[in-house]
Amino acid sequence: MPTWTVECSCAAYVASTQIVEADTEEAACEAAIFAANAAMDWTPLDHTGDTHCDAIARGVHKTAWDHDVGVPYAFSEQALHAAPSISDLLARAQLALAELCDRRIGLVDTDVTALLVAINAELDRQDIPALAPSTAHTLLPQILAQHAARQGASC
Question: What residues make up the domain containing 32?
Answer: 4-82
* Residue closest to 142 by CA, chosen among 91, 102, 107, 103: 91
| 11 shares its domain with 63 | yes
Whole-angstrom distance, CA of residue 107 vs CA of residue 153: 12
Q: Is 53 helix (H, G, I), strand (E, B) or coil?
A: strand
Residues 92 and 60 in one domain: no
pLDDT by residue for the chain (155 residues), tens only, comes to 889 899 888 888 888 888 889 888 888 888 888 889 898 888 888 777 778 888 888 889 888 888 888 888 878 887 777 655 666 666 777 677 666 666 555 555 455 666 677 777 777 776 667 766 666 666 666 666 766 666 655 55
Do residues 63 and 97 both lie within one domain? no
Domain count, the chain: 2
- 58 and 121 housed in the same domain: no
DSSP secondary structure code for residue 65 in this structure: G
Which pTM value belongs to this model?
A: 0.41
Number of other residues whose CB lies within 10 A of the CB of residue 51: 12
102 and 46 together in one domain = no
97-134 confidence digits (pLDDT tens)? 666 666 555 555 455 666 677 777 777 776 667 766 66
Give me the phi and psi of 69, to 5 degrees please.
-100, 0
CA distance 102 to 58: 54
Q: Nearest to residue 132, comparing CAs of 104, 103, 97, 92?
A: 92
14 and 33 assigned to the same domain: yes
